[in-house]
Chains A and B, each alone.
Chain A
Amino acid sequence: MRRGPSLFNLASLGLGLTFLYAPIVLLVVYSFNDSRLVTVWGGFSLRWYGELMHNEQLLASVWMTVRIAALSATVATLLGTLAAVALTRGGRFPGRTIFSGAVYAPLVTPEVILGLSLLLLFVAVGAPRGFWTVSAAHTTLTLCYVTVVVQARLASFDRSLEEAAQDLGCPPWRAFLLVTLPNIAPAVAAAWMLAFTLSLDDLVIASFTSGPGATTLPMRIYSAVRLGVTPEINAISTLLIGLVATGVIAAYLIQTRGVRRASR
Chain B
Amino acid sequence: MDPGADGAVTDGRLNIGAIRSSFAPWEDPAAEPLVRFEKVTKRFGSVTAVNAVDLAIYEREFFALLGPSGCGKTTLMRLLAGFETPDEGRVWLGDNDLSDDPPHRRPVHLMFQSYALFPHLTVEQNVAFGLKQQKLPKGEIADRVAEMVALVRLEGMERRRPDQLSGGQRQRVALARALAPRPQVLLLDEPLAALDRKLREETQFELMAIQQRLGMTFMIVTHDQDEAMVLADRIAVMQAGEIVQVGRPTEIYEAPVSRYVADFIGDVNLFEAAAVSAEEGETRFAGPDSPGGYLASTDEGVVLDGGLYLAVRPEKMVMHLDPPPEGPNRLAGKVLDIGYLGDWTTYVVGLESGRTVRAARANSARLVERPVGWDDPVWLTFAPDAAVVLTR
Contacts and interface: CB of A to CB of B under 8 A. Distances in A.
Interface of A: 158, 160-161, 163-172, 174-175, 178-179, 182-183, 261-262, 264
Contacts of A261: 119, 163
Interface in B108-132: 109-110, 112, 114, 116-120, 129-130
Nearest to B81: A167
B116 A171 contact: no
A179 B118 contact: yes
Contact of B116 (A163, A178, A264): A163
A164 B104 CA distance: 10
Given A164-B118, A169-B133, A183-B120, 13 more contacts: A163-B83, A163-B116, A165-B129, A167-B81, A167-B82, A168-B178, A168-B181, A169-B181, A178-B129, A179-B120, A182-B120, A183-B118, A183-B119
A168 B119 contact: no
A163 B119 contact: no
Interface size band for B: 20 to 34
Contacts of B82: 167
A259 to B, nearest CB: 13
B116 A169 contact: no
Contact of A168 (B114, B120, B129, B163): B129
A264 B118 CA distance: 13
Interface of B: 81-83, 102-104, 109-110, 112, 114, 116-120, 129-130, 133-134, 163, 177-178, 181
A167 B103 contact: yes
Nearest to A163: B83
B166 to A, nearest CB: 14
A183 B117 CA distance: 12
A172 B130 CA distance: 14
A118 B134 CA distance: 49
Contacts of A179: 118, 120
A232 to B, nearest CB: 47
Given A167-B103, A168-B129, A171-B102, A161 B118 contact: yes
Contacts of B109: 167-168
Nearest to A161: B116
Nearest to A179: B118
B181 A164 contact: no
A174 B103 CA distance: 13
7 contacts: A161-B118, A163-B112, A167-B82, A168-B133, A168-B181, A169-B104, A172-B104
Contacts of B181: 168-169
A237 B102 CA distance: 56
A86 B6 CA distance: 58
B375 to A, nearest CB: 54
